[in-house]
Structure 1
């Protein structure tokens, strides 16, 4: 392959390794809730609506609605609103009694980072003072061995690929011109291997990360598609 071809392949591979994990650089932020936080409603709402500043994949989201007895009041899975792709909706049990309710939410931004929060609302007219709710404990297991291996494989392979690219183009090539019978084949092969490992490690890392944070199966690979569409 010509020098120009190698440069093009190298730049394309390194760019892919750098772009894929940063398809979106900002976390998702909750910008609106229905019902609003701490509001006292005259009648039970049919559902809970959470609107973010960007589209959030429903399969990566958890929305918990509990009463003072810690009983779950949702009746179905989290879904995307048909009228607004940035809004997630979860249905509630009909005819909820008067009182206070805790909404706990957790979602995965398209950059792969978990975001979460909690707020309360009440159904009136006399719900009484807000009680001390215990927020559900759904912790991110970001230090599992599988996740650590995938994370380090991704970072190291990208750094090795960049280092080999610099070595081949800026260091080894000028030196080889002075030494007869020496080629860059070994460096080129190592660069390709490092690039391939990086490209494979990126989706594997995202798979383990999002599975840990949203309690889904690591074999639900189709759930990763929205991350690469962003």
Structure 2
């Protein structure tokens, strides 16, 4: 195996022996070209897949952004690098959503956090409640597909999913509100299954014990959970 860390800068590929070297090279390339779109991942370059994945990351990066895979993020944590969690992102050519992070804490900013929950008869349905147990797998699949489709369309980054509950980050409040309106509209024909409940809050995310969290997430979740109380 020829495992290496790959950096893609606007389509140009560089291969490095370590994740730390790849990140350092990416930062230098961004210094030279502030609007460069950069992606970094790790893998067996003989298989070709990490090369393509690095290219895909660079194509979805904003100008000046460095996007990395979760493996790269974990590899350079000891270097005191900071990251912004972009959540599970759909990437062309890959069936599964990929967890993507943006390098450089200086770019961190307040985001609009939205809690989305499916309620039934005025009570929020959770995993351990009878209403949740009685819901069919087909209904849950409809719910999941509807939520994921609308979040992707409105640039939402899913931070946490627990059965019927989603915590999602948006760069702008207007995107969060638009997503909620769109979700409410497309879910209306399915309200016999349950009603969607939303909670909104502004704030930043912090990496804590293998997950991203923050007071804004807690507040948004509480607002959604108490909507019908």
The TM tier, using the shorter chain, reads under 0.3
TM-score normalised by structure 1 residue count:
0.27
Q: Which has the larger radius of gyration?
A: 1
TM-score normalised by structure 2 residue count:
0.27
* Structure with the larger strand share: 2
